[in-house]
Amino acid sequence: MKYTMTPANKRLLAASGILLGLTAMPLQKSVIAQELGSHVHGLTELNLVITNQNVQIEFISPAINLLGFERASNSPEENKLFNEVLEDLQAAEWLLSDQLEDCQMSTPVFEAPEFGSHEMSEGHEEHEHEHDEHEHEDHEHETGDHADFRVQYLFDCRSAPPSNFTVTAFDRFVGIEEISVRWIVGRQQGVSNLTPSNATLSFD
């Protein structure tokens, strides 16, 4: 998707770089784990920057949180699920419902695991079945620690965004148990942890 950067979005991207320098802030344990590059199942990361009427959100998650597996899909059902997740992530309703419906959205960054489906022909089905378990164990070992989704959303809004957000990702993906959020809103910045029972992000 071709995307033309506006001055406002350039400022957003510059501000988002500040998020990487928040190590001086008192971070919670789950956020520290992500700073160290940990791949923690059930845990996802959300980086959010709001400048005037513009919002940038970066979402990072291990694939298992969204798919239930971290390997090449080995059935039509898993392949369908993979494609459905890709389709959902290209929109933002799964994350924030319709809270930014009046904003123009783009996704300048969209990274998904490179594994795809294993399509088996009838002539090779029996042979593949004999080696299926061994091959998938090897594949999981090789790629499991690095199978992540990463999506960046940019919103150009007609008016000021809400002062808080209800994150609806828990409703869409039951594999997400916790979301570690780092945010910058104007001159304020902070760190929050969201769970299914506490899914409202306030900028206090």
pLDDT tens string 84-96: 999 999 999 999 9
Phi, psi of 27 (to 5 degrees): -90, 145
| Token pair listed for 31 | 């956020």
- In order, the DSSP letters of 25-47 are S---HHHHHHHTT---TTEEEEE
In contact, 201 and 165? CB cutoff 8 Å:
yes
Say how far residue 8 (Cα) sits from the centre of its chain: 23
Average pLDDT value for the chain:
76
Look at residue 151 and tell me whether its pLDDT is greater than 50. yes
Contacts with 182 (C-beta within 8 Å, 6 or more apart), sequence order = 19, 22, 31, 45, 46, 47, 48, 189, 190, 191
Hey, what amino acid is at 58? E
What one-character DSSP code corresponds to residue 122? Answer: G
Across 30-58, average pLDDT = 77
**pTM over the 0.75 mark:** no
- In order, the DSSP letters of 12-23 are HHHHHHHHTTGG
- In order, the DSSP letters of 44-68 are EEEEEEEETTEEEEEEEEEHHHHHS
Say how far residue 152 (Cα) sits from the centre of its chain: 8
Digit-coded pLDDT (tens) for 152-166: 999 999 999 988 999
Q: What is the pLDDT of residue 23?
A: 33
Q: What is the pLDDT of residue 114?
A: 84
